[in-house]
Amino acid sequence: MRGVYIEEVLRDLEAQGLLSDIGELSGGFEVTREAYRRRNPFVFRLAGGEFRLYSNIYADRRLLYRFLGAGDDAAAYTRLLEATRNPGRVVETGFSEFFRETGRGLSDLPFLRYYREDGGRYLTSSIVLACAGDDVCNASFHRMMLVGDREAAIRIVPRHLYRIVEWYRRRGRDAPAAVVLGVHPLIELAAATSPGYGVYELGVAAGLLGEGLEVARTPLYGIPVPSSASVVVEGRITGRLVEEGPFVDILGIPDRVRRQPVFVAERIYYRRGSSPHYHAIVPGLDEHLLLMGFPREALVYEACSRLAGVRAVRLTRGSGGWLHIVVSVSDAGAGAAANIGMAALSAHPSAKLVVVVDDDIDIDDPWSIEWALATRVRWGRDVYVLRGVRGSTLDPSGDDGLLDKAIIDATVPRDRPGALFRRARVPVGGDPG
């Protein structure tokens, strides 16, 4: 078992005609333009750079399902949930067998400025791995802004990495950490999940990959990292704070400047026998939305399925794949939509709106959803408003995350004849007319 390498994934996509090599790009703005224009996977190099970069790997939901080996929404959700509940086998191997120290600095890595509003150059696919003692490890995405050749500001929200950093702070120490770049898409998907504290996301990745995962412990701090990673940066998250941002985030709006910790890079390693690879995730585009939102869709699916038959869940593109949820149900009884909406908000507390629709509505078609709102909702009866509750700090309409939320029951009213609410079908070939 040698793990799964990003080069293999890219070769497979290219062989299937799903990936394009577009040559050389000049910088981050050009990457953003190409990712927005193409909406399909592509590889490229930066002028004068040694890295092979790739983007739009998750630009289409069908590609994500392809990586998961899932044929539909339910199978994809179930696959992710099972891997989260039952992590796969992680096998340790030697670090030096796979990696060589480079002597490089952070400024040699492809930190990019994707939008004119960005306050600096960023890594957007950096997965940060850290352990609290011998028992608890975590792997999660964190944007990093270049500060100097050995320093980067790292955005940390109060979740598991924050908890680990605090564990070290109480002991008067910096938090040892490793940053990995260029990993298999399912390792990235695992790092985007939020299992319970103490469940190492690399175990989730092993479950998703199906054949386990090889990990190697870094030389300085013994942090287990995927042996298939293209780049490993070993260092420390310090207590020193610097200004980080602004950064155009998932809603396409510049996130405000904050004081964030400094990561100090001590060693940078490249995987042996391969040129370094980097996933250039353009903030606010489909790839960012799906990678961040899909694991939350699975949690919403699980929570709502306890109350009704759920066909699918969508965190909508218009809400940054984060703030609005649409739940398609098949057998919700009278009054069930409000409970389904509450379950969805509990499963994804950052959301501010849940729309519950019947399974005749195409939840991938905003027009179809709007049609359900226009024809099946009586606003004084079918809208439930929750005032002054905690939501996402990314929502500019809130007060640092304190905002109002709503649930809309856009299902066919159970006390009215269903035929009044069914759209006529377009005649197909063979109909007599």
- The DSSP string of 316-330 is -GGGTTTSEEEEEES
pLDDT at 433 (0 to 100): 61
Paired tokens of 200: 């190492």
Q: Quote the DSSP letter at residue 36.
A: H
Bridge partner residues of 20 (DSSP): 42
Read off φ and ψ for residue 340, nearest 5 degrees: -60, -45
6-281 and 287-414 share one fold: no
Q: Is residue 219 exposed (0-12), middle (13-18) or buried (19+ Cβ within 10 Å)?
A: middle
Spell out the CATH class of 287-414: alpha beta
- Buried (b) or exposed (e) across 152-169, using 16+ Cβ within 10 A? bbbbbeeebbbebbebbe
Bridge partner residues of 261 (DSSP): 241
> Do 57 and 124 contact (CB within 8 A), yes or no?
no
pLDDT at 347 (0 to 100): 96
Active site residue 249: yes
378-387: long-range pairs with CB below 8 Å, 24+: 378/413, 382/337, 382/408, 382/409, 382/410, 383/407, 383/408, 383/409, 384/338, 384/341, 384/408, 384/409, 386/345
Read off φ and ψ for residue 333, nearest 5 degrees: -80, 180
pLDDT at 416 (0 to 100): 64
pLDDT at 24 (0 to 100): 94
pLDDT at 56 (0 to 100): 96
Interatomic CA distance for residues 281 and 1, integer angstroms: 28
Domain covering 6-281, topology = Pnp Oxidase; Chain A (2.30.110)
pLDDT at 318 (0 to 100): 92
Domain ranges of the chain: 6-281, 287-414
In the chain, which stretches have pLDDT less than 50?
1-3, 417
Interatomic CA distance for residues 191 and 138, integer angstroms: 8
pLDDT at 294 (0 to 100): 95
Instruction: Report in angstroms the alpha-carbon separations of 322 from 283, 290, 387.
Output: 13, 9, 19
pLDDT at 418 (0 to 100): 58
Interatomic CA distance for residues 243 and 273, integer angstroms: 38
pLDDT at 415 (0 to 100): 63
pLDDT at 59 (0 to 100): 87
| Candidates 73, 118, 174, 249; catalytic one | 249
